[in-house]
């Protein structure tokens, strides 16, 4: 049996490492064609030595030059950009997990090189789903999200092809580390507090998004695009146990939900191996099963999660999601660097959507990469201008 060829974009992040963990027990069945990372020096060196990919893309110039001097590998070609994708023939799987807009172009360029494109990069869907969809049809690539919520929705909907049968789809949120905080307590939150997610092992940026509920806003946009579902049918529920990842209510009175442990290796493994797998037989570290006591669900209050106000603008303006996401990326980065307070993330986004120029740019769809990058750059410069005194 020939080996399955795989690309992992963002191999040293939490999704990348989870994917590698899923594959390692059956390493002989896979061939790593390309891995890509940016910052994590030790992990990059380890992956080159252990996984021996054909190519390793290191986008950070300093890290690239440092590793290039240290590693002399005959099996792995270490490069600094994604031009190498042109040299690669068709692979079985590409995992897209480079965070932020940096992951957009590599993801789009991977469509023509992949039988299956499994996306964990929200921005690729929010910014460029129309481009991904167009190219996937052209090259016959199956594109799906491996976020636990969208994986769960897709699994439920596999048996229900008619979208008109759907009454509501609920995406669940843990509520983050500050679920039980009072409003005045949110003023004192530090970056180290915000990245301590109570249920999931995630990267710093997405952990902050979980705390503000921004990750659910982005997932609502993703679900609307992936499943061609109206935003009026998509809702958010707080579910502190993080065991049920999506709930689909049908017009016939039946409601289905998908439950799995809060471990990203489960949707990743099911996406790679298929739903007939025995999960603990394909993992180098087994899943820990949580004892079920109670499952709690409740609607998030807009008084606490002000980011919910953005949904009205997302429904109204085609490019609102792009501007809001770019603003959030810039603001979370500032917060993690200790430049702004936690509360400033959402208040700054809400100020952005009230600006007249927001409507000017959000009202038109971004049809190509140049238009997407224009909106992204304008938004980041807008946010920076509001904090120019503290960013000096």
pLDDT in tens, 255-278: 999 999 889 999 999 999 988 889
pLDDT tens-digit readout, 297-325: 999 999 889 999 999 999 999 999 999 99
**Residue 333 has what pLDDT?**
92
**Residue 2 has what pLDDT?**
85
Superfamily (CATH H level) for 4-146: NAD(P)-binding Rossmann-like Domain (3.40.50.720)
Could you give the 3-state DSSP secondary structure of residue 121?
Answer: coil
Q: Does residue 138 have a pLDDT over 90?
A: yes
Q: What residue ranges do the domains of the chain occupy?
A: 4-146, 147-175+213-300
In 141-231, alpha helices (H)? 148-157, 191-194, 204-212, 214-226
Torsion of CA 251, 252, 255, 256, to 10 degrees: -100
The pLDDT of 377-388, averaged and rounded, is 92
**Residue 351 has what pLDDT?**
94
Could you tell me the pTM of the whole model?
0.92
Question: What is the secondary structure of 229-271 as a DSSP string?
Answer: --GGGEEEEE-TT--EEEEEEETTS-EEEEE--S-THHHHHHH
Quickly count: other Cβ atoms within 10 Å of residue 110's Cβ.
27
Strands (E), 142-183: 142-145, 166-173
Kindly give the pairing relationship between strand 4-9 and strand 91-96. parallel
Q: What is the mean pLDDT of the chain?
A: 90
Q: Does residue 61 have a pLDDT over 80?
A: yes
The span from the CA of 57 to the CA of 77, in Å, is 9
**Residue 293 has what pLDDT?**
77
Hey, what are 119's tokens? 């996306």
Q: Does residue 288 have a pLDDT over 80?
A: no
Hey, what are 196's tokens? 């301590």
The span from the CA of 91 to the CA of 116, in Å, is 8
**Residue 1 has what pLDDT?**
65
**Residue 326 has what pLDDT?**
95
Kindly give the pairing relationship between strand 114-119 and strand 234-238. unpaired
Kindly give the pairing relationship between strand 142-145 and strand 114-119. parallel
**Residue 318 has what pLDDT?**
94
Q: What is the DSSP letter of 87?
A: G
pLDDT tens-digit readout, 354-372: 999 999 999 999 999 999 9
The span from the CA of 268 to the CA of 35, in Å, is 17
The pLDDT of 194-212, averaged and rounded, is 80
**Residue 392 has what pLDDT?**
61
Q: Does residue 183 have a pLDDT over 80?
A: no
**Residue 111 has what pLDDT?**
95
The span from the CA of 66 to the CA of 213, in Å, is 38
pLDDT bin (cut points 50, 70, 90) of residue 189 is: confident
The pLDDT of 281-305, averaged and rounded, is 85
pLDDT tens-digit readout, 110-128: 999 999 999 999 889 999 9
**Residue 162 has what pLDDT?**
75
DSSP percent split of the chain into helix, strand, coil, nearest 5 = 50, 15, 30
The span from the CA of 335 to the CA of 5, in Å, is 39
Contact 91, 115 (CB under 8 A): yes
Q: Does residue 290 have a pLDDT over 90?
A: no
The pLDDT of 155-159, averaged and rounded, is 89
**Residue 194 has what pLDDT?**
79
Q: Does residue 164 have a pLDDT over 70?
A: yes
Question: What is the secondary structure of 267-309 as a DSSP string?
Answer: HHHHHHH-TT--GGGS-SSPPPPPPP-----BPPPTTT-GGGG
């Amino acid at each position: 049996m020939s080996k399955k060829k795989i690309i992992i974009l963002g191999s040293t992040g939490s999704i990348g490492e989870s994917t590698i963990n899923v594959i390692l027990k059956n390493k002989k069945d896979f061939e790593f064609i390309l891995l890509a990372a940016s910052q994590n020096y030790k992990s990059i060196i380890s992956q080159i030595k252990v996984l021996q990919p054909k190519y390793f893309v290191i986008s950070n110039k300093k890290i690239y030059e440092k590793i290039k001097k240290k590693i002399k590998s005959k099996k792995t070609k270490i490069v600094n950009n994604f031009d190498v994708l042109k040299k690669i023939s068709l692979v079985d799987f590409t995992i897209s997990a480079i965070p932020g807009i940096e992951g957009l172009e590599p993801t789009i360029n991977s469509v023509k090189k992949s039988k299956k494109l499994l996306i964990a990069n929200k921005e690729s869907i929010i910014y460029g789903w129309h481009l991904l969809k167009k190219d996937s049809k052209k090259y016959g690539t199956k594109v799906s999200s491996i976020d636990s919520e969208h994986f769960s929705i897709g699994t439920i909907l596999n048996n229900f092809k008619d979208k008109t049968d759907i009454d509501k789809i609920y995406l669940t949120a843990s509520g983050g580390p500050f679920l039980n905080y009072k409003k005045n307590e949110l003023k004192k939150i530090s970056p180290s507090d915000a990245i301590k997610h109570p249920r999931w092992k995630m990267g710093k940026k997405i952990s902050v998004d979980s705390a503000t509920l921004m990750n659910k806003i982005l997932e609502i946009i993703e679900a609307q695009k992936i499943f061609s579902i109206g935003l009026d049918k998509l809702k958010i529920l707080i579910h502190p146990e993080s065991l049920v990842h999506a709930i689909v209510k049908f017009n016939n009175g039946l409601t289905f939900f998908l439950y799995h442990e809060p471990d990203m290796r489960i949707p990743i493994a099911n996406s790679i191996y298929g739903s007939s797998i025995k999960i603990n037989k394909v993992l180098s570290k087994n899943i820990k099963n949580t004892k079920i006591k109670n499952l709690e669900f409740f609607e998030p209050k807009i008084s606490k999660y002000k980011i919910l106000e953005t949904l009205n603008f997302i429904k109204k303006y085609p490019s609102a999601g792009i501007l809001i996401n770019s603003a959030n990326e810039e603001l979370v980065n500032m917060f993690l660097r200790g430049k702004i307070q936690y509360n400033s993330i959402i208040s700054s986004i809400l100020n952005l959507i009230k600006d007249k120029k927001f409507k000017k740019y959000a009202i038109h769809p971004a049809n190509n990469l140049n238009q997407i990058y224009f909106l992204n750059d304008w938004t980041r410069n807008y946010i920076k201008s509001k904090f120019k005194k503290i960013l000096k």
